[in-house]
């Protein structure tokens, strides 16, 4: 399992992918994984001691045996039997690599059974400081190994910077360091640009660690195993953010246009922490990655405008922004949400002027949709469950308001769902679909990654004209992409990678993503 050496960024233009098994695979699944990953990790604490010869019949890459202990992430009880070291020693006979936990496995009998070329010495633990993490590595490297792996958890964005700083300081190609948890997801994508030789992903959609992406997602959304040059980092800040299709759309477009950039999801609990720790302190710049622009999704669109040094007239009127772009030393705020609604309607040659329109939901995306429709002459009513917030937003936009309790969908020719409701079968719908007029047009801002939402599916089945939220995402991204990069987003490519038409794109294969985006970025 040697890192590929070719010459782009830390001497490599690609990274090895490790697919982690969380359930026993079929022969067909193993064969498919042979085309997706270089290494197959058997999490014996989750799936038991699978026979390596059987795995090798269908998987052509190397095999890694891992028996995670309870303190370091075992979710079962397979490693509590008292036979841990015997199982590790036995695995060395059939596996190419054996994961040895630095805290409990570096004993003479185990080290004698697992030679250095087969050792991956690891540590998994809580958030830590750089000095402590460096001390752990110094202790680990007293024993020879092919790889050393250090994985602290991240509870805040600043925690994810620690393993990356370690990689940058070491400058080695045998150290893996990144953070687990939603707040540390993005570190998995930057680590290989700082020397980490491999990236771990789940073999299927069930993760082996908190917020671990699937191998398919690493390929679809981030173009791995290829490592293009990264001169600027863009990203999405939200909660949730990991389920967004924006990374797939932007990264595929960067690859198509030859833009040396990377788009990452930053899932944060508090926008202020992210802004202080990552943006204002220039933490990514210290590591060699300039942060150049951010998409912003719920629930942070209002504070995004507040922290910006300048806002566009539209963003100021809306009181929120979905885009932050750095111009010199100033962060400028913009809103492109409204274009996400108007673009698909224009494509369908649906006139907005004079129509009775209702926008359900008064968040940043809802307010932007309402303003955009109003600007083209629609008679817009904002609908919201919270009367106080809805009235305040409607008053600021100079449009009508209705509480959700009093809302009658049959009155309206054009409806926009700006809530997260209506995605899943059996879930609550944003409004009574039985009263929707047959000649109405419904725009759903919510979306599913690999299919139409339940709301869109139900309305389409009744003959109602509907706009899928993925179309909304694409159209709002067109100007956002131009503002951020100065280039035009390749719309045809965007439609394909979002699953709106056509087949897969090389390096960004299509396939199901497990989660859903929130308020479109």
Q: CATH no. for residue 264?
A: 3.40.50.10860
Query: Is 290 part of a structural domain of the chain?
Result: yes
For residues 259 and 215, membership in a common domain is answered with no
pLDDT digits (tens, 9 = 90+) for 196-221: 999 999 998 889 999 999 999 999 99
Task: Work out the end-to-end distance of the chain between its first and last CA atoms, rounded to an integer number of angstroms.
Answer: 39
For residues 171 and 315, membership in a common domain is answered with no
CATH of the domain at 53: 3.20.20.70
User: Would you place residue 77 in the very low, low, confident or very high pLDDT band (cuts 50, 70, 90)?
Assistant: low
Q: What is the dihedral of CA 1, 228, 157, 315, to 10 degrees?
A: -160
Say if CB 205 and CB 449 are below 8 A apart.
Answer: no
Asked whether the predicted pLDDT for residue 416 surpasses 80, the reply is: yes
CATH of the domain at 413: 3.40.50.720
Query: Is 183 part of a structural domain of the chain?
Result: yes
The pair of structure tokens assigned to 430 is 């944003």
Query: Is 487 part of a structural domain of the chain?
Result: yes
For residues 364 and 217, membership in a common domain is answered with no
The catalytic position among 149, 159, 250, 301 is 301
CB atoms within 10 A of CB 365: 32
> Could you tell me which of 512, 473, 514 has the C-alpha nearest to residue 491?
473
Distance CA 136, CA 466 (A): 56
For residues 191 and 111, membership in a common domain is answered with yes
Q: Total domain count for the chain?
A: 3
Instruction: Please give the average per-residue pLDDT across 157-179, as a whole number.
Output: 96
User: Would you place residue 278 in the very low, low, confident or very high pLDDT band (cuts 50, 70, 90)?
Assistant: very high
Structure confidence at residue 418 (pLDDT): 95
Structure confidence at residue 516 (pLDDT): 27
For residues 101 and 83, membership in a common domain is answered with yes
At 388, is the secondary structure helix, strand, or coil? helix
User: Would you place residue 461 in the very low, low, confident or very high pLDDT band (cuts 50, 70, 90)?
Assistant: very high
Distance CA 471, CA 338 (A): 13
For residues 172 and 272, membership in a common domain is answered with no
Query: Is 238 part of a structural domain of the chain?
Result: no
Distance CA 414, CA 513 (A): 30
User: Would you place residue 120 in the very low, low, confident or very high pLDDT band (cuts 50, 70, 90)?
Assistant: very high
Structure confidence at residue 124 (pLDDT): 97
pLDDT digits (tens, 9 = 90+) for 334-382: 999 999 999 999 999 999 999 999 999 999 999 999 999 999 999 999 9
Query: Is 164 part of a structural domain of the chain?
Result: yes
Structure confidence at residue 4 (pLDDT): 35
Structure confidence at residue 8 (pLDDT): 31
Q: What is the dihedral of CA 31, 33, 37, 39, to 10 degrees?
A: -70
Element (H, E) at 53: helix 52-58
Asked whether the predicted pLDDT for residue 82 surpasses 90, the reply is: no
**DSSP H helical segments within 261-360, as ranges?**
271-274, 283-286, 301-307, 313-318, 337-347
Q: Which residues contact 189 (CB under 8 A, 6 or more apart)?
A: 199, 222, 262, 264
Provide the mean pLDDT of the chain.
Answer: 92
pLDDT digits (tens, 9 = 90+) for 9-41: 445 799 999 999 999 999 999 999 999 999 999
Helices 157-170 & 130-140, crossing angle to 10 degrees? 50
Structure confidence at residue 253 (pLDDT): 98
For residues 267 and 185, membership in a common domain is answered with no
For residues 76 and 200, membership in a common domain is answered with yes
Query: Is 343 part of a structural domain of the chain?
Result: no
At 203, is the secondary structure helix, strand, or coil? coil
For residues 193 and 260, membership in a common domain is answered with no
Burial of 254 (0-12, 13-18, 19+ CB in 10 A): buried
Asked whether the predicted pLDDT for residue 81 surpasses 70, the reply is: no
Say if CB 417 and CB 439 are below 8 A apart.
Answer: no
For residues 157 and 254, membership in a common domain is answered with no
For residues 476 and 461, membership in a common domain is answered with no
Of 295-299, 400-404, 448-452, 500-504, where does mean pLDDT reach its minimum?
500-504
| Residue-number span of the structural domain to which 48 is assigned | 16-225
> What is the pairing mode between strands 465-467 and 441-444?
parallel
Cα diameter, the chain: 81
Distance CA 124, CA 261 (A): 30
For residues 353 and 492, membership in a common domain is answered with no
Of 4-8, 191-195, 321-325, 432-436, where does mean pLDDT reach its minimum?
4-8
Query: Is 445 part of a structural domain of the chain?
Result: yes
Say if CB 190 and CB 287 are below 8 A apart.
Answer: yes
Q: What is the dihedral of CA 475, 235, 487, 365, to 10 degrees?
A: 30
For the entire predicted model, the pTM comes to: 0.91
Query: Is 486 part of a structural domain of the chain?
Result: yes
| 301 included as an active-site residue | yes
Q: Which residues contact 389 (CB under 8 A, 6 or more apart)?
A: 362
């Amino acid at each position: 399992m040697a890192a590929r050496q070719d010459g782009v960024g830390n001497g490599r233009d690609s990274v090895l992918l490790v697919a982690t098994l969380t359930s026993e695979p079929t022969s067909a699944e193993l064969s498919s994984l042979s085309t997706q990953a270089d290494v197959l990790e058997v999490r014996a604490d989750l799936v038991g001691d699978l026979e390596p010869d059987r795995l090798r019949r269908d998987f052509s890459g190397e095999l890694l045996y891992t028996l995670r202990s309870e303190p370091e992430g075992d979710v079962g009880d397979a490693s509590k039997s008292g036979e841990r070291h015997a199982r590790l020693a036995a695995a060395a006979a059939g596996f190419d690599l054996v994961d040895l936990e630095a805290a409990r496995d570096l004993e003479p009998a185990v080290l004698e059974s697992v030679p250095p070329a087969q050792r991956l010495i690891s540590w998994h633990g809580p958030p830590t400081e750089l000095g402590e993490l460096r001390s752990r590595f110094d202790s680990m490297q007293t024993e020879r190994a092919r790889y050393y792996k250090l994985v602290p958890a991240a509870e805040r964005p600043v925690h994810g910077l620690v393993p990356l700083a370690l990689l940058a300081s070491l400058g080695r190609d045998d150290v893996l360091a990144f953070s687990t948890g939603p707040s540390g997801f993005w570190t998995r994508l930057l680590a290989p640009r700082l020397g980490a030789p491999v990236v771990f992903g789940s073999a299927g959609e069930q993760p082996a660690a908190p917020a671990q992406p699937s191998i398919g997602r690493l390929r679809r959304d981030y173009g791995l195993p290829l490592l293009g040059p990264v001169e600027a980092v863009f990203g999405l800040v939200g909660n949730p953010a990991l389920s967004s299709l924006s990374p797939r759309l932007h990264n595929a477009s960067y690859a198509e246009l030859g833009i040396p950039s990377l788009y990452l999801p930053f899932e944060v609990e508090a926008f202020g922490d992210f802004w202080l720790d990552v943006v204002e302190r220039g933490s990514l710049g210290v590591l060699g990655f300039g942060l150049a622009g951010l998409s912003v999704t719920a629930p942070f669109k209002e504070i995004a405008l507040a922290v910006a040094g300048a806002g566009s007239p539209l963003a100021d009127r809306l009181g929120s922004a979905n885009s932050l772009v750095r111009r010199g030393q100033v962060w400028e705020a913009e809103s492109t949400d409204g274009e996400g609604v108007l673009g698909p309607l224009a494509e369908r040659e649906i006139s907005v002027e004079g129509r009775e329109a209702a926008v359900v939901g008064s968040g940043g995306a809802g307010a932007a949709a309402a303003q955009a429709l109003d600007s083209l002459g629609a008679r817009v009513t904002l609908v919201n469950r919270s009367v106080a917030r809805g009235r305040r937003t409607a008053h600021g936009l100079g449009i009508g308001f209705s509480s959700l309790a009093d809302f009658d969908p049959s009155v309206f020719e054009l409806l926009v769902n700006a809530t997260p409701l209506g995605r899943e079968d059996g879930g609550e719908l944003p409004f009574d679909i039985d009263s929707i007029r047959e000649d109405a047009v419904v725009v759903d801002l919510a979306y599913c990654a690999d299919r139409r939402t339940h709301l869109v599916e139900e309305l389409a089945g009744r003959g109602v004209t509907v706009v899928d939220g993925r179309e909304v995402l694409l159209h709002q991204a067109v100007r956002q992409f131009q503002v951020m990069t100065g280039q035009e987003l390749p719309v045809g490519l965007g439609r394909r990678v979002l699953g709106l038409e056509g087949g897969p794109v090389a390096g960004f294969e299509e396939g199901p993503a497990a989660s859903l985006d929130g308020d479109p970025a």
